[in-house]
């Protein structure tokens, strides 16, 4: 079941990286490079091609997964991004690499993130409902509270 | 882009966060805001425009002087997961940038 939040937000971050863009592009997809989205993992699958799946369980144990939509070396890549924190929404990460002198302007756009408060209110509501629903089967007393 | 996205964009840059930190101590003139930074004045102006669009600063005329002050209200909107994601990407990009900066430094020393 997907919880549709009242609205979504996007995060946009620009950063100038002191290296040529083909090198920066390749490093972004390399899980061995510090700062790559897939660096430091407990479990990892990265199939870097359009339609390819990625799955990354971070050191804290949070699962993240998605599919590559577009890999246009060395200019742009797009992939979906799901985790418990996106509340079932398929959020989208777009990274562009533009040459700037000897360096590269990296722009990261993470869109479709659930806006915090409405989404949380939804989740609280669903948790309360599912909590009670689960209690029917476990035989636990219904205290009517929400799971944290 | 909605307002929350404007706020997230505004706080996603280390220079803008430093400006907020400085203005949180009290209102200041443009020249005081620009003084600690090693960037061109028009770059500082651009940063201030983004902060203003997010509602994080306001300008007030006092006589012939213009004072810039910090408004904390929009930061209250930025809570929980979205802020966690903003921090997540910022930390990743910090590490990524540092990796290349260190690599360049090693290369320069090796020459």
Residue A90: both structure tokens together: 């398929």
Whole-structure pTM over 0.75, yes or no? no
**Alpha-carbon span A30 to A44, nearest angstrom:** 12
What is the chain B residue with the closest CA to A9?
Answer: B5
Cβ of A13 within 8 Å of Cβ of B89? The answer is yes
List own/partner pairs for B54-57 with CB under 8 A and 24 or more apart: B54/B3, B54/B6, B54/B7, B54/B9, B54/B10, B54/B11, B55/B3, B55/B6, B55/B7, B56/B7, B56/B10, B56/B11, B56/B20, B57/B19, B57/B20, B57/B23
- Cβ contact (<8 Å) for A117 and B79? yes
**Is A15 near chain B, with CB under 8 Å?**
yes
Contact predicate B87/B94, CB 8 Å: no
Cis amide bond preceding A74, omega within 30: yes
In contact, A97 and A21? CB cutoff 8 Å: yes
Gap from B76 CA to chain A (nearest CA, Å)? 11
Q: What is the pLDDT of residues A34-63, one digit of tens each?
A: 999 998 889 999 999 999 999 999 888 889
Determine the pLDDT at residue A69. Answer: 97
Cβ burial of B46 (10 Å; 0-12, 13-18, 19+) is middle
Q: pLDDT (tens digit, 9 = 90+) per residue, A105-132?
A: 999 999 888 776 544 554 455 555 444 4
Contacts of B102 in chain A (CB under 8 A): none
Average pLDDT of chain B, as a whole number: 86
From CA A34, how far away is CA A111, in angstroms rounded? 23
C-alpha span between A28 and A115 (Å, rounded): 27
Both tokens of residue A43?
A: 């479990």
Residue A89 touches partner B, C-beta closer than 8 Å? no
**pLDDT number for residue A125:** 53
Between A and B, how many CB-CB pairs are < 8 A? 94
């Amino acid at each position: 079941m997907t919880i549709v939040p009242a609205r979504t937000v996007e995060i946009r971050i620009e950063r100038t990286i002191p290296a040529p863009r083909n090198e920066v592009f390749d490093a972004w997809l390399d899980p061995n490079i510090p700062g790559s989205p897939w660096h430091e993992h407990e479990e990892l699958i990265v199939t870097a091609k359009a339609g390819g799946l990625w799955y990354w369980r971070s050191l804290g144990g949070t699962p993240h997964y998605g599919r590559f939509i577009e890999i246009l070396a060395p200019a742009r890549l797009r992939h979906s991004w799901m985790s418990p924190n996106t509340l079932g929404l398929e959020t989208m990460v777009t990274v562009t690499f533009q040459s700037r002198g000897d360096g590269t302007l990296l722009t990261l756009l993470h869109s479709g993130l659930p806006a915090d408060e409405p989404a949380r209110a939804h989740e609280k509501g669903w948790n309360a409902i599912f909590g009670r629903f689960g209690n029917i089967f476990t035989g636990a007393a219904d205290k009517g509270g929400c799971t944290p | 882009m909605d307002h929350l996205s404007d706020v997230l964009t505004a706080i996603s840059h280390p220079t803008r966060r430093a400006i907020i930190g400085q203005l949180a101590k009290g209102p200041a003139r443009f020249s005081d805001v620009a003084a600690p930074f090693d960037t061109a004045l028009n770059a500082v102006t651009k940063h201030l425009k983004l902060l203003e669009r997010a509602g994080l600063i306001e300008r007030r005329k006092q006589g012939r002087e213009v004072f810039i002050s910090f408004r904390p209200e929009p930061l209250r909107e930025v809570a929980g997961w979205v802020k966690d994601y903003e921090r997540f990407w910022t930390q990743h990009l910090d590490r990524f940038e540092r990796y290349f900066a260190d690599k360049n430094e090693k290369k320069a020393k090796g020459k």
